[in-house]
Homo-oligomer: A and B are copies of this chain.
Amino acid sequence: MKTVLVKELFRNSDSHTNKSIKVSGWIRTSRVSKTFGFIELNDGSFFKNVQIVFDESLDNFKEISKLPISSAIVVEGKLEETPNSKQPFEIKAENISIEALSSSEYPLQKKRHSLEFLRSIAHLRPRSNTFSAVFRVRSLVAYAIHKFFQERGFVYTHTPIITGSDCEGAGQMFRVTTLDMKNIPLNNDKDIDFSRDFFGKETNLTVSGQLEAEAYALAFRNVYTFGPTFRAENSNTARHASEFWMIEPEIAFADLSDNMELAEDMLKYIIQYVLDNAPEEMEFFNNFIDNTLLDRLHNILNSEFAKVSYTEAVQMLIDSNENFEYPVEWGCDLQTEHERYLTEKIFKKPVFVTNYPKDIKAFYMRLNDDNKTVAAMDLLVPGVGEIIGGSQREERLDILEKRMEEMNLNKDDYWWYLELRKYGGVKHAGYGLGFERAIMYITGISNIRDVIPFPRTPKSAEF
């Protein structure tokens, strides 16, 4: 008999009712009396368990009754509807065989565990309800992102992980080396002789694939990256990880307004995809993690995102007379408290803030005609603050070079990036979405360590 997946039972129970079927999975819980018992079986294919009913008619009734949690069994039996129960059906076992025993030391017993404890058993935590839901949703969001861009003809571009220079200056970087660290070679100037390192030069882990994505957008028009990025910053917060995944679309023949339209469409698409494809998980999050979650996500789907310039936004914050921890004035970087006030109190929906002062933004952002602001955009959402940051890129070679000089960047390091402006460098734009931030937003999970299978943070690289 072929094994049926539990997901198939839940999605198409009618076609299996009153038929003999075979399932296999792990025991999540069991309740046993002298003559019969119930097992909640999870086979990995689905968030929910299927209930197995068994009784003394089994040869190995006693053995099955005593199986520790997380033991794996194969069950043959009949699927029966249970119209008066919480679960829609159960399997009356005719035969149960043991596939793999578990030990009674299994740490995920039925009682509630703290998220902190579960982090210490990251190899087992996906077997708990919370993490089963989180990591299934993570997979679906990743796929939704690919599906969204591929359906629109975007080319998925793998930008390099190991980079030869600290190009963007977006953050502190991890050194990548094969030099013998107990015996570092020095050159005549007593500097480290990187010509003897693996790549013949200094190399680090990437902080962003944007610059390389720009090169590809100027060939394929619409591209996106989706890969790991790294920050060697000693930030021990619930929102920072040293290794995280990022999505960076880049579009040519496009300006800031096209960029905002794309970001809004993308965010709505992935939320809709998860609501459609993981209803059980989303209900679980809404019940047990954050009971404003579904309202918040439906609000996003049904809103037209607001747009406001940085200058207007600053004035609104000043006019609010709200007592912020960090005072607001034109030229300052917006803090999370300001961002949340804008999106939660003033607009009550997602809002794009545009045209930030050039002095607080990166060199590659397009200078506006006022000479004071750049064509940047941040998308702020209720409950979180900034979730997407992007800009139209400076396509004018002379202005780009001038900005780089002002910011003391070495133009030689960027020779190929500058060349893109010489050979048909049309207007183009793009943004970055931190993948884990998006998962936190969509699940309501508040610590980034709980949305990455094996998180890397300062002083922690276990598993």
Contact = CB atoms under 8 A, between A and B. Distances in A.
B200 A459 contact: yes
A143 B156 contact: yes
B454 A160 contact: yes
Oligomer copy total? 2
B160 A161 contact: no
A160 B461 contact: yes
Interface in A410-443: 416-417, 419-420, 422-427
Given A136-B155, A395-B100, A461-B199, A205 B184 contact: no
A5 interface: yes
Most interface-central of A158, A159, A200, A218 (chain B CB within 10 A):
A158
A324 B156 CA distance: 41
A50 to B, nearest CB: 13
Interface string A274-307: 0000000000000000000000000000000000
A102 interface: yes
A150 interface: yes
A407 interface: no
Contacts of A100: 395, 424-427
A72 B426 CA distance: 7
Given A177-B177, A220-B126, A161 B102 contact: no
A44 B252 contact: yes
Given A43-B253, A123-B419, A124-B219, 11 more contacts: A45-B222, A100-B427, A139-B154, A160-B243, A160-B463, A162-B456, A164-B461, A182-B192, A199-B456, A201-B461, A212-B454
Contacts of A26: 424
A357 B163 CA distance: 40
A439 B10 CA distance: 38
Contact of A423 (B124, B218, B461): B124
A44 B101 contact: no
Contacts of A131: 219
A215 B101 contact: no
Interface residues of A, number: 106
A219 B28 CA distance: 11
A48 interface: no
A132 interface: yes
A99 interface: yes
B44 A220 contact: yes
Interface of A: 3, 5, 7, 24-27, 43-45, 70-72, 99-103, 105-106, 121-124, 126-127, 131-132, 135-136, 138-139, 142-143, 146, 150, 153-164, 172, 174-179, 181-182, 184, 191-192, 198-201, 203, 205, 212, 215-222, 227-228, 230, 232, 234, 242-243, 245, 252-253, 395, 416-417, 419-420, 422-427, 452-454, 456, 458-463
A355 to B, nearest CB: 23
Contacts of A427: 99-100
A220 B137 CA distance: 12
Contacts of A142: 146, 156, 158
Contacts of A106: 422-423
Contacts of A45: 153, 220-222
Contact of A7 (B139, B153, B161, B422): B153
A253 B72 CA distance: 9
A86 to B, nearest CB: 24
